[in-house]
């Protein structure tokens, strides 16, 4: 059994990747991911809003 301290250390040393994130991104969101130990994120910029809405999310 892994102790809580060991589990935190394993997580801290791990590569943690969010493979699908749909969000209205902001500096606050990126900082929260960093504080939570997220190493990388695959950001989706368009799902149901159509082409123009998806492009507006990128700009």
pLDDT in the model for residue 52: 86
pLDDT in the model for residue 26: 83
pLDDT in tens, the chain (59 residues): 999 999 999 999 999 999 888 777 789 988 999 999 999 998 777 777 788 887 877 76
Element (H, E) at 10: helix 4-13
Q: Please spell the DSSP secondary structure of 4-51, one letter per residue.
A: HHHHHHHHHHS--EEEEEE----HHHHHHHHHTT--EEEEE--SSSHH
What pTM did the predictor assign? 0.60
pLDDT in the model for residue 24: 72
pLDDT in the model for residue 35: 93
């Amino acid at each position: 059994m892994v102790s809580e301290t060991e589990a935190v250390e394993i997580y801290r040393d791990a590569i943690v990747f969010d493979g699908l994130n749909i969000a209205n991104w902001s500096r606050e969101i990126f900082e929260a991911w960093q504080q939570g130990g997220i190493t990388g994120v695959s950001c989706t910029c368009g799902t149901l809003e159509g082409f123009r809405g998806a492009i507006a999310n990128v700009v």
